[in-house]
Amino acid sequence: MGFKEHCFKKSLWLFHFAGASCNNCDIEILDCLTPRYDVERFGMLLVGSIRHADVLLVNGSINQRDKSRLLELYEQAPKPILVVAIGACGCTGGIFAEGNTFAGPVDKIIPVDAYIPGCPPKPEAILAGVVKLLNK
């Protein structure tokens, strides 16, 4: 078992970063924690600080001002960390890619391990994405 597998073997703690988004994805991520989906039964927990996190969830298009914040967060994160881009905006910039403050989709700024497309992706899709990531 390699070092990375060892790190991600047990409960994953998630940190959620919302860029310049329309907050649909944010709500769907929160929805995963509520009774119908309840990811906490798999040991996944939304944490308040990036220093406690194993996974960084990023959604929304990233504008110039968010860019430096995202880079700072990525540098603060304990390595190895898994980065998941959620939603059409996180994956490509979506409908906001032509905006005057757009700084690039998430993978132009930090390395991304998994993409969960959709506008917004359903909670089931988010769960499926995380499960695929774990089995990678």
Partner 1 sequence: MNTDEILKNIKDAFVSDVIDILKKSETRVIISIKPSSLLQIAEYVFKKLEFRFIIATANHTKKGFEILYHFSKDEIGLIANLHVVLPVEKPEIESLSNMFSATNWIEREMHELYGIVFKNHPEPKKLISEGNWAEGVYPYRREFK
Partner 2 sequence: MVKKTLIPIGPYHPLQEEPELFKLYCEGEIVKDIKWETGYNHRGIEQLSEKKTYDQSFFLVERICGICSTSHPFAFANAVEEICNIEITNRAKYIRTIIAELERVHSHLLWVGLAGHFLGYNTVFMWAWKYREPVLDLFEMISGNRNSYAMFKVGGVRRDIENNKIPQILDVLSLVKKKTDMLVGAVMDDPVIHARTKGVGILTKQDIIDFAAVGPTARASGVAIDVRKDDPYAAYPLVNWKVITAQAGDVFAKAEVRLLEMYESISIIEQCLEGLKKEKEGEINVKVKDIPEGWGTGHAEAPRGEVFHYVLSDGSNSPARHKIRAPSYTNIATFKKSCIGQTISDATISLAAVDPCYCCTERMAVAYDSKTGNKIMNGNELIALSAQKTQNIKNQI
How is residue 19 written in tokens? 């860029």
61 touches partner 2 by CB under 8 A: yes
Q: Does 98 bind partner 2 (CB under 8 A)?
A: yes
Give 76 or 101: the residue with its C-beta nearer to partner 1: 101
Stretch that binds partner 2, among 41-49, 75-83, 109-117, 128-136 (CB under 8 A): 41-49
20/46 with CB nearer partner 1: 20
The C-alpha torsion from 44 through 47 and 53 to 57, rounded to 10°, is 80
- Write the Ramachandran bin of 104: left for phi over 0, alpha for psi from -120 to 50, otherwise beta: left
Q: How far apart are CA 89 and CA 34, in angstroms?
A: 24
Site for partner 2, rule CB under 8 A = 15-28, 30-31, 34-36, 46-49, 60-61, 63, 65-66, 69, 94-96, 98-102, 119-120, 122
